[in-house]
Amino acid sequence: MSNSIRDTYKYHFKVGNRIVHRGITNDLQASESRHRTSGNSDTQGGKRIYWKDGHIVQIGNITTREAALAWEREQHERYGGF
């Protein structure tokens, strides 16, 4: 029997318009804070972009953990691991 409680968000973590991470969480604010304080950075067009300047964008509606995990696996297969 699957858990039908909708308590999980799908999200993109973006710096400017660039998606630097795709994930799931049950607390968007806490996840955004963790990403922003992670010290991570990427490069875009030869310029370094810092995750401290990023923000979370919720994708779709709140969903079940099972459905969110399936979405996350599909995202990682399609776009590579983040």
In this prediction, residue 1 carries a pLDDT of: 46
Rama region for 35: left / alpha / beta (φ>0; ψ in -120 to 50; rest): alpha
pLDDT band at 13 (very low <50, low <70, confident <90, very high): very high
In this prediction, residue 14 carries a pLDDT of: 97
Domain spans of the chain, in order of start: 6-79
Give the Å distances, CA to CA, from 71 to 23, 26, 36, 53, 58: 9, 15, 23, 26, 13
pLDDT band at 82 (very low <50, low <70, confident <90, very high): low
Per-residue pLDDT of 36-46, as tens digits, reads 999 999 988 89
Give the span between the Cα atoms of 42 and 44, in whole angstroms. 7
Residue 33, number of CB atoms within 10 A of its CB: 12
Q: Which residues contact 39 (CB under 8 A, 6 or more apart)?
A: 51, 52
For the chain, what percent of residues have pLDDT higher than 90? 87
In this prediction, residue 78 carries a pLDDT of: 93
Give the span between the Cα atoms of 18 and 30, in whole angstroms. 20
